[in-house]
Amino acid sequence: MTDRRALDRALREAGVPEAYYWIEDVHEPAPTPPDFVYLRTDPAGGGWETGVYERGAYEPVATHATEAEACAHLRSLLGDQGGTAFRP
């Protein structure tokens, strides 16, 4: 996956529950689930951040230079280590 929209589409088609993940400007469940993995622009600027949201706090796991790298990491956080389970 090279972009957030393609990743969201692939996750939906694979049946990943909507409350399990949050992708900035693409998939933002409401009301906000109590915990989920996320992908957003890096609040420090200049890239992307992936992590886990738990108990009302964002816990960054990694920062990425490109959107494609961030998408790949979010897939791995959801258990798709090889990058093949959630293909569109």
Residues 6+ apart with CB under 8 A from 15: none
- What is the rounded distance in angstroms from the CA atom of residue 53 to the CA atom of residue 6? 22
The C-alpha torsion from 72 through 78 and 79 to 82, rounded to 10°, is -20
CB 6 within 8 A of CB 85: no
pLDDT digits (tens, 9 = 90+) for 14-73: 899 999 999 999 999 999 999 999 999 999 888 999 999 999 999 999 999 999 999 999
Residue 85 CA, chain-centre distance (Å), reads 15
Give the pLDDT band of residue 83 (cuts 50, 70, 90): low
Amino acid in position 67: E
Name the pTM for this structure.
Answer: 0.87
CB atoms inside a 10 Å sphere around CB 54: 11
Tokens representing 81 are 């280590």
